[in-house]
Each structure stands twice: as structure tokens, then as C-alpha cells.
Amino acid sequence: KTKIRNREEGYWRLSKLSVPAHKDPGKDFIGVSLPLLEAIAKILKFPVAPMLPEEAFTVVRKSFDARKVLKEPAFVYTVDMDVKKLLHLEPRTWDFISYLEPKLGFVEYREDENALTDLVDILDKGKVKIDGSNPSNGFTYSEKRPRVAVVGSGPSGLFAALVLGEIGADVTLIERGQPVEQRGRDIGALVVRKILSSESNFCFGEGGAGTWSDGKLVTRIGRNSDSVQAVLKTLAQFGAPPNILVDGKPHLGTDKLVPLLRNFRHYLLDLGVDIKFNTRLDNLVVENGQVKGVVVSNAKNEPGCNSDQEKLLFDAVVLAVGHSARDVYSMLLQHNIEMVPKNFAVGLRIEHPQELINSIQYSELANEVQAGRGRIPVADYKVAKYVGGDKFNTESSFESGVENRSCYSFCMCPGGQVVLTSTNPSELCINGMSFSRRASKWANSALVVTVSSDEFDSFRSHGPLAGVEFQREFERRAAEMGGGNFVVPAQRVTDFLAETLSGTSLPASSYRLGVKASRLHNLFPAHITKALQCSIEMFDKELPGFITTDALLHGVETRTSSPVQISRQADTCESTSLKGLYPIGEGAGYAGGIVSAAVDGMFCGFALAKELSLYRGDV
Ligand code: FAD
């Protein structure tokens, strides 16, 4: 039970308020509807719901719950109640609120109205004044501001650049890919004409890997933490729909991400950040165990081609290059930067008709989805099983002999499409993206199993990069199985379980560059295939109909998270082996997903600003 203090001045948080789906105005409405007031009135034991003043309530979270255990699918709300505003009610009507006080197990009291801290607030509290002047924010800085390179403009790099730029560092943002406008054209050329630009594609370019994505903003690092809220609020400042602050499963979609990134770029430019697109980090300038700068080149040059290279000097280098920058990992290895292999997951991407997933999840309510236009969100799913190791666990006929490991769905894209995330034509890997309405007729998701570093034994000669070679091996096999030209090997899920080649008439796929019937059951080592088969059988028990001849598996999903971690100090984010280097985000092994990468970038921005004596606040 949460103790209530200072009630008159505060807020009460009411959670788990359930509004039946048929009464709710729908997924896009984040105001206070009468059915929600009724749910609030019920929990408060207030007799006349319409008498509750709407303005006293703010929706802070809205999720859709269609679990089969419920009598009826419902929208579930968390609401903040402003007690001061409620006190404007007639005193008599208010009386019974005090009667509630002893029974407040369901209420959480929030003392501070501003608990959802703005990034700008945090910045303003800790900024240090130095001499000189900066017209953009009224703060004063010395002529000689510390020079910081942020390499990579994915979520981690962008947020690090934002914090450092705001606090007063002289920031240069270095990005090998193109700004979103040109990147869009390069991706178009890939999807339509099969031309892969090695530097501007689904992984590389402004906004990083998550730009042409589903833009899911869910994270496992605590939805309500101040840092996650600061990231979401910043995204909303740059044009994300305000629903993301409330939605239980917020997502943006590519069409919303692209203009948002353009706004982000203009804000950084106004702050004085120097943004260099089409500029690839090729090397670090190191003197006496300290980074002194970077060597960059026009990204159109082949890696290793020294013409056009330029040396730029900096006081610190933030490395935010994502986990597809394998050339950067190799370069770090040459400098003996401390890196350790890390567990990750590999598997295949499954695609079902979206209508099937809607009906598995929602039954009759599925009709109300209407390709993202309806009141009910397009259905998703999340499944996870631990296979092997339990002799009583006989849920799957593939169970016997399966080694212990976790199998789970990953990066599920409702109403989306399967896309090519290779950065090199001889290696083939895929992922999923969607647009904001999630209106496509397909639902795709990776099905992956964990692999640990002791499985990379045959690649031991690559040292800490053994996991990278392990990924590469299966990406090459997938490219060979597909027969080249970015054609993806595919197999009906039923045939994958039966270990037979699917006939040539495969179900239609959203993947635009072509699919070829292949023996995906031979792609991974037998123990990984078995674990996948075993978990798919179990997933079908949870989502009956998951195994169907209409479901198509695509190969191969290898880049679920970084296969390596670049060791760094916990408090400062500085590399443990090279002074002045700050490895951050997914590529460094400290984040997985858009929001956690952004949070890591923000955290590192503050930590580095502190190291550079620009910031005195808390990190
Ligand atoms: P990245 O976003 O990978 O950014 C790294 C940047 O560094 C890139 O822009 C790259 O061009 C640049 N770079 C690399 N090497 C160099 C160099 N040598 N010189 C200069 N620049 C360099 N996550 C979610 O949370 N939700 C989703 O819905 C989602 N969908 C995804 C869909 C797809 C298709 C993909 C590929 C990923 C998806 N992800 C999703 C994962 C998410 O994109 C990443 O977790 C996140 O982008 C990691 O952020 P980051 O800043 O660490 O690295």
C-alpha cells in the first residue's frame, strides 16, 4: 500500500482502469472519455461518473489487452488524478473521497507534479557557466569549448550529440550514410532495382538502423523511468505523435520517423553541431594511450582506400556506430581495444497473413481492426519459451535432445514487411519494418534462439570478434541458398517442421526482392534448428493456428543484438583500454532497441560532459 502524504497538493495515480473495447472511443483517443470516467468512478466508489471533472484526470498510459483470460478485450488505462482540481467539487460530493483513504491499495501517490522530467530541465539544472557567449540558449561559454566527435547518427549518437551540444561542447556528428531524404532514395533503389549502396541502406544513414523500421518504442529498461520519459518527450518535441507518451506499446512507423529525424537534424544544426554526412570513420588517432582524433574519408571510397582521408582532432570521441559496423570492430581490434564476446540470438523471420494473427488474438473483434483504421490496434504477439532441460516438459515432439536455451519472438512487426538489412551483397540478413498505420496484409516477426560465446569455438582465431564471424557464416549461407541477387531463402513453417522442401508455389511474401524455396532446416547447426522447431510447436499451443501452410519462414535473422561488448567504465562510459573513447549504444553492447540506445546516448552525453567539466549535475 502506498502511503498518502500531503494529499491536497498532489496527484494520485490510478492504474489498471479497464474499459471494455466496445465502449472505448478507440486506440488513437488519449483523452478522458465517459466510459473511462465510469471506470474511475467505480474504483473511487463515486456515485455519479459524469460529475467527475474531466480536467482532473490525465491519461498517462493506455494499452490494449486481448488476453483470452479476460471476459472481453479491454483498453487498460493508468490515470493521474489532480486532487486540487477534484477539490473544486461540491464539498459534499468530495466527502467520500476522504472515506477512501484507508482503502487505497490501488492508488499510488505522486508527490511531484513534475516527476516526468524534461531533458531540458535536467540540462538546465546541471549546466556550468563559463566565459564567452552562445546566443542560442543564453548560456555563456569559453572561446575554447571542448571538441567532441560523435560517430554515428543512430538514436544513441543523436541523443549524445543533443546533450553535449546543449551543454556547450563543440560537437561534430560524423555519419557514413546519407541524410534521410537521400537515404530514402537509396533504399528505393535497393527495393526496386536491387542496387545496394554499401553506405546508405537499411542499417546505415541518418537515424541509424531504426529509421526504416517499425519504430517500436517499447523497452525493457523501465517504461516509467525518467530517462525513458525524457527520450519519449524529446521525440514528441521533434514531431512524434503525443500518443507515444501514453500508449502502452508505442510505435512510430517509418513515415513518422523520417520527418522527426529531419527536425532533430535542424535542431542540432541550430545548436551549432557540425554534421558531416557521407563521412566514414576509418581509424582513430591515438597518442600515448589517449584518443586525439579520428581519420575519416568520403564514405563512397572502399574501406582501406587511403585517398581523400582526413585527420580531425578532438578531445573525446563518442563511438555510436551500431552493430553492423564490422569494419569498426576490426579497426578497434587493431588498436587492442578491450572487447568481450557476448551472447545474442539467431533464427528466422516468420510471416503470417495479418488477418490470421488478428483473429487468433481477438476472435470476433478482429473485424474492428480494419487495416489500422479501426478502433482496435492491429494485433501483435510476443512469445517466449525455454526449451530443453526439463524432462517433464513434453509440449513439443522435438523436445528430446534439445539443449537448454531460450527461444522467443523478436521485433514483431504487425502490418509490416520483411526488409533486407545486409550491408554487403555476399551476406544476407533481414529484419522487419512498417508504416505508422501498420496497414499491410502481413505480420512478421523474428523467431530466434540464444547462442552463447562458447558456441563460436570454430571462429576462435577471430578473438573477441568470433561472434561476428558466426553471424557472417550464416548470412553467407543464406545468400548462397537464395541464389544471389538478394533473393531470400524461404520455407513454409509446416515444411520446416517436416524438414521437406516447400513446393515452388510459396505463400506470397511482403519481401520485395524475391524468395526462393529452400531447405532452411539445413541452414543452422542441427541443435539450433531443433530448438527453433521445438519452440514453434510450443508457440502454436499458445497461439493456435500459428503453424499453418500460409506461414512462411525467411532466412536469416542474425543481427538481433551486438555479438560483442566494448568494455567501458560504468560511471564515465570511457573505454577501459583507451582514454578519450566513449563506446555507446547497441554496437558497443549497452543497448538493444531505439529507446534504450537513445537512453544510453543521453547517459553518456551527461557522463562525458561531466568529464569535460561542462556539467555538475547528476548523471
Ligand atoms: P544504429 O542505429 O545502428 O546507428 C549507428 C549509426 O552509425 C548508423 O547511422 C551508421 O550509418 C553509423 N556508422 C556506422 N559505422 C560508421 C563509421 N565507420 N563512420 C561513421 N558512421 C558510422 N528497435 C526498436 O526499438 N524498435 C523497432 O521497431 C526496431 N525495428 C528495427 C527494424 C530494422 C529494419 C532494424 C535494422 C533495426 C530495428 N530496431 C528496432 C533496432 C534499432 O534500430 C537499434 O537497436 C538502434 O537503432 C540502435 O541504435 P544505435 O544508435 O546504437 O546504432
CA 600 centroid distance within chain: 12
Please tell me if the CB atom of residue 388 comes closer than 6 angstroms to any atom of ligand 1. no
Q: What integer is the mean pLDDT of 235-240?
A: 91
pLDDT given for residue 364 in this prediction = 84
* Residue 296's CATH number: 3.50.50.60
Other CB atoms within a 10 A radius of the CB of residue 290 amount to 13
Same domain? For 605 and 537 the reply is: no
Please tell me if the CB atom of residue 176 comes closer than 6 angstroms to any atom of ligand 1. yes
For residue 101, pLDDT over 50 is answered with no
Same domain? For 302 and 240 the reply is: yes
> In this structure, is residue 222 part of a structural domain?
yes
Q: Identify the burial level of 68 via C-beta atoms within 10 angstroms of its C-beta, where 0-12 means exposed, 13-18 middle and 19 or more buried.
A: exposed
Last residue of a domain, one of 530, 557, 584: 557
pLDDT given for residue 32 in this prediction = 94
Please tell me if the CB atom of residue 552 comes closer than 6 angstroms to any atom of ligand 1. no
pLDDT given for residue 301 in this prediction = 60
Give the separation between CA 228 and CA 397, rounded to whole angstroms.
42
Q: Distance, CA 619 to ligand 1 centroid (Å)?
A: 24
Other CB atoms within a 10 A radius of the CB of residue 178 amount to 22
> In this structure, is residue 617 part of a structural domain?
no
Q: Distance, CA 585 to ligand 1 centroid (Å)?
A: 9
Give me the sign of the Cα torsion angle 447, 449, 451, 455.
negative
Question: Cis bond leading into 556, ω under 30°?
Answer: yes
Mutate to test the pocket of ligand 1, among 175, 187, 422 (most ligand atoms within 8 A of CB): 175
pLDDT given for residue 96 in this prediction = 47
Same domain? For 572 and 551 the reply is: no
Q: What integer is the mean pLDDT of 90-102?
A: 47
Atom of ligand 1 nearest to the CA of 174: 20
Residues belonging to the chain:
619
DSSP H stretches of helix in 22-101: 34-44, 83-86, 91-100
For residue 4, pLDDT over 60 is answered with no
> In this structure, is residue 442 part of a structural domain?
yes
Same domain? For 138 and 222 the reply is: yes
Atom of ligand 1 nearest to the CA of 587: 52
In this structure, the dihedral spanned by the alpha carbons of residues 188, 192, 195 and 196, taken in order and rounded to 10 degrees, is 50
Same domain? For 45 and 128 the reply is: no
Last residue of a domain, one of 557, 579, 603: 557
> In this structure, is residue 2 part of a structural domain?
no
Same domain? For 348 and 332 the reply is: no
Q: Distance, CA 425 to ligand 1 centroid (Å)?
A: 19
Mutate to test the pocket of ligand 1, among 191, 200, 202, 203 (most ligand atoms within 8 A of CB): 203
Same domain? For 327 and 287 the reply is: yes
Same domain? For 137 and 237 the reply is: yes
H or E stretch at 271: helix 254-271
> In this structure, is residue 1 part of a structural domain?
no
Give the separation between CA 216 and CA 201, rounded to whole angstroms.
19
Same domain? For 254 and 307 the reply is: yes
pLDDT given for residue 395 in this prediction = 65
Same domain? For 421 and 545 the reply is: yes
Same domain? For 527 and 449 the reply is: yes
Q: Hey, what's the cell of 250?
A: 508505442
Last residue of a domain, one of 80, 110, 140: 110
Mutate to test the pocket of ligand 1, among 206, 309, 411 (most ligand atoms within 8 A of CB): 411
For residue 141, pLDDT over 90 is answered with no
pLDDT given for residue 108 in this prediction = 42
Q: Which domain range does residue 424 map to? A: 344-557
Same domain? For 535 and 571 the reply is: no
pLDDT digits (tens, 9 = 90+) for 333-352: 999 999 999 999 999 999 99
pLDDT digits (tens, 9 = 90+) for 6-20: 344 567 788 889 999
pLDDT digits (tens, 9 = 90+) for 207-235: 999 899 999 998 887 766 788 988 998 99
How many domains, in total, are found in the chain? 3
pLDDT given for residue 142 in this prediction = 52
Q: Distance, CA 322 to ligand 1 centroid (Å)?
A: 5
Q: Hey, what's the cell of 363?
A: 476472435
> In this structure, is residue 237 part of a structural domain?
yes
> In this structure, is residue 183 part of a structural domain?
yes
Atom of ligand 1 nearest to the CA of 584: 52
> In this structure, is residue 587 part of a structural domain?
yes
